[in-house]
Chains A and B, each alone.
Chain A
Amino acid sequence: METSAYHPRRDRIIVTILLVVGGLLVAIPFIWMVLSSIKTEREVLAIPPTLFPQEVTFTNYLDLFRNMNFGIYLRNTIIIVLFSMVGLLFNTMAGYGFGKYAFKGREAWFLLVLSTMMIPSQVSMIPVYLILNEMSLTNTMPGIILPGLIAAFNIFLIRQFMTTIPDELLEAARIDGGGELYIFFKLIIPMAKPILAVQVILTFIAAWNSFLWPLIVANDESLYTLSVGLALLKGQYATNYAMQMAGATFMVVPILIIFAFFQKYIVEGMNVSGLK
């Protein structure tokens, strides 16, 4: 755009070439993952390696469900994703509470929320485990879900958005007799769509990828998530790279598809959230 004054066409070609080369370098691990996942176990270890599979096979994917319990891992991951949306509701409620109500101690409480952002996860990791242990929540689904439910940074972003909603709108709704919950669900949430769209995608991705808490808290395989199951696969089938690649593809591709569809909102959302 701005550098195009002199040789616009030539510049554009150079930039495009640079982006293509860089993009290929970035994409190689993904391409290699997907291509290897549909090769036979023997072909994956062939020297020199083949780029495209000589013989396309889906047995690696079937093995994920036959030799390992990827069905269970998938179910647990979906449960975590669903509950993360409850967490998002709590974050949105808090963001709205801080953004649109004047109440005693608001600044102090908000400061408390923000201060939790500074605490490195390594500091809270051990005491959180001890607390879960005292509550007898280790090796349970609530123990996996609860510690990651609230994200102070997301409350902050949502609050920033909420402050832009005019007070007159809320007052008008109250005069019309709308209850506070009615106003929140029927007026505020529809208005907050731009920021919530981003939050839903990012929350989904974070929950789908969550690894550390499921790993620490879950002892039984029946509580494993996809990422913990994949780590188990890496250990149990250390030399079966074809099956490892199938497991990784199974975990990664759904996220990439969802992201490709909704990526427009993420870039726009960064603008909305004022991170410039």
Chain B
Amino acid sequence: MKKSAVPYLFIMPAIVLLIVFSIIPIVISLVISFTDLDLRGLANWSSIRFNAGNNFAVLLDDGVFLQSILNTFFYVIIGVPLVILCALTVALLLNFATSKLFSVFRVVYYMPSITNIVAIAVVWGFLYNQDYGLFNTLLGYVGIGDVPWLEDPLIAKLSLILLAVWKGIGINMIIFLAALQAIPSRYYEAADIDGASRWQKLFYITIPSLRYATFFVTVTTLIGWLQFFEEPFVMTEGGPLDGTLSMALFIYQEGFQYSQFGYAAAASFVLFIFIIIMTLIQFKFRQSEDEVR
């Protein structure tokens, strides 16, 4: 074996698979987003026609697509701050002590994030059931009428957010917890000598020290929620009245249910552009924050 070939042999399997299933697809996706590729085109390539950006023009006129954009922003604006706040709160509480009990709780709060999405849909679908569900039964005891958890467009969106927050706390909590444990204890000792109150310590030591973790969590959570897909896919299939349809679900439905591959690819690029813009804004914020400091 030639010596200089060795490193390439180590990276080759991963590189080949990434090129075939990540790099080439994005090129194909860009090309077909300018075509009318559908099932007919798949069978006979010569029938595929370029339609010069027509997909994008149609998209901006497609009421269902615009609805999916609005829904996605609704999910992001409510869901992202909620999940970060919950994860941070739980991490702060868990960091309070290191006993057996606390590590048990760490497992409990992490459990939803490793649970299969279909199983979650099955269980939450039962909990949300209007007639037999646990939630409506419990609310019935305190005199609140039957809540149409998944039957009303607005409430259904909120129900999916509740589920996604429940599922999303775990992984972010772990990241915050790792960051909390890395804060040197001498900071707090110095603050104690100065007579700082616990809230002062929280706002002047703990939260500023979590800057990098918060940034990381915010970027990943934002990107994740822009691609909000599985929850509406398994719980509501986008209904009622497209009330829970997200952009990612729109792409899936156009592509795999209606076989409009070209149209769906165009929609996926609109989503990609949104993700890139949001990420750039985040990094910009981060930069100007660093300059102030």
Q: Could you say which residues of chain A place their CB within 8 Å of the CB of B29? A: 123-124, 126-127
Q: Judge if A120 is at the interface, Cβ distance under 8 Å.
A: yes
CA distance A121 to B255 in the complex (A): 13
Q: Judge if B252 is at the interface, Cβ distance under 8 Å.
A: yes
Total interface residues in chain A, CB < 8 Å = 96
Binary B-proximity of A88-115 (CB < 8 A = 1, otherwise 0): 0011011011100101001001001100
CA distance A130 to B6 in the complex (A): 33
Docked-complex contact B227 and A121, CB < 8 angstroms: yes
CA distance A206 to B177 in the complex (A): 22
Shortest C-beta distance, A106 to chain B (Å), equals 8
Residue among A5, A19, A127, A276 making CB contact with B212, cutoff 8 Å: A276
Docked-complex contact B28 and A130, CB < 8 angstroms: yes
Instruction: Identify the interface centre among A23, A231, A248, A276: most chain B CB within 10 Å of its CB.
Output: A276
Chain B, 220-243, CB within 8 A of any chain A CB: 223, 226-227, 229-230, 234
Docked-complex contact B118 and A255, CB < 8 angstroms: no
Docked-complex contact A123 and B272, CB < 8 angstroms: yes
Docked-complex contact A251 and B134, CB < 8 angstroms: no
Q: Could you say which residues of chain A place their CB within 8 Å of the CB of B1? A: 180
Q: Judge if B25 is at the interface, Cβ distance under 8 Å.
A: yes
Q: Could you say which residues of chain A place their CB within 8 Å of the CB of B192? A: 5
Closest to B262 in A: A126
Q: Could you say which residues of chain A place their CB within 8 Å of the CB of B202? A: 3
Q: Could you say which residues of chain A place their CB within 8 Å of the CB of B213? A: 275-276
Docked-complex contact B264 and A276, CB < 8 angstroms: no
Docked-complex contact B11 and A122, CB < 8 angstroms: no
Q: Judge if B52 is at the interface, Cβ distance under 8 Å.
A: no
CA distance A152 to B23 in the complex (A): 12
Interface of chain A: mostly helix, strand, loop or mixed: helix
Docked-complex contact A130 and B175, CB < 8 angstroms: no
Chain A, 109-156, CB within 8 A of any chain B CB: 109, 112-113, 116, 118-131, 133, 146-147, 149-150, 152, 155
Closest to A102 in B: B7
Chain A, 9-56, CB within 8 A of any chain B CB: 11-12, 15-16, 18-19, 22-23, 26-30, 32-33, 36, 44-45, 47-49
Closest to A104 in B: B4
Docked-complex contact A127 and B26, CB < 8 angstroms: yes
Chain B residues in contact with chain A, CB under 8 A? 1, 4, 6-8, 10-11, 13-15, 17-18, 20-26, 28-29, 32, 42, 90, 93-98, 101-103, 105-112, 114-127, 129, 131-132, 134, 137, 166, 169, 174-175, 177-179, 181-182, 185, 188, 192, 198, 201-202, 206, 212-213, 216, 223, 226-227, 229-230, 234, 247-248, 251-252, 255-256, 261, 264-265, 268-269, 271-272, 275-276, 279
Chain A residues in contact with chain B, CB under 8 A? 1-6, 11-12, 15-16, 18-19, 22-23, 26-30, 32-33, 36, 44-45, 47-49, 90-91, 93-94, 96-98, 101, 103, 106, 109, 112-113, 116, 118-131, 133, 146-147, 149-150, 152, 155, 180, 184, 205, 208-209, 211-212, 216, 226-228, 230-231, 233-234, 241, 244-245, 247-248, 251-252, 255-256, 259-260, 263-264, 266-267, 270-271, 275-276
